Amino acid sequence: MSETNNKDLSGKVALITGAARNMGRAFAVALASRGASIVVHYHSDASVTDAEETARLVKDAGGQTLLVQGDLAVPANAESIFANAKSAFGRIDIVINNAGLVIKKPIMECSEEDFDRSFGINAKAAFFVMQQAARCIEDGGRVISMGTSLLGAFTPMYGVYAGSKAPLEDFSRALAKEIGGRGVTVNTVAPGPIDTPFFHGEENEQSVAYLKAASVTGRLGEIEDIVPTINFLTAAESQWITGQTIFVNGGFVTR
Q: Is the pTM of this model over 0.85?
A: yes
Residue 34 lies in a domain: yes
CA dist., res. 234 & res. 93, Å (int): 9
CATH number at residue 229: 3.40.50.720
Q: Do the domain assignments include residue 37? A: yes
Least confident interval from 90-94, 151-155, 240-244: 151-155
The residue that leads in pLDDT, 206 or 1, is 206
CA distance 102 to 203: 11
Answer whether residue 107 is part of any domain. yes
Whether residue 3 has pLDDT greater than 60: no
Domains contained in the chain, number: 1
pLDDT of residue 98: 97
Separation between Cα atoms, residue 194 and residue 48, nearest integer Å: 23
H or E element that contains 84: helix 75-89
Distances (CA, A) of 135 to 70, 98, 144, 227: 19, 19, 15, 26
Q: What is the mean pLDDT of residues 125-146?
A: 98
Banded pLDDT at 200 (limits 50, 70, 90): confident
- Do the domain assignments include residue 253? no
16: which strand partners? Answer: 40, 96
Residue 252 lies in a domain: no
- Could you list the residue range(s) of the whole structural domain that residue 108 is in? 13-246
SS3 state at 29: helix
Q: What 3-state DSSP class applies to 15? A: strand
Task: Determine, yes or no, domain membership for 101.
Answer: yes
pLDDT band at 5 (very low <50, low <70, confident <90, very high): low
Counting Cα atoms < 13 Å in the Cβ hemisphere of 140 gives 7
Is residue 255 a part of any domain in this protein? no
Quick check: is 4 in a domain? no
Residues catalogued as catalytic: 161
What b/e sequence results for 212-223 when a residue is b if at least 16 CB atoms lie within 10 Å of its CB, and e otherwise? bebbeeeebbeb
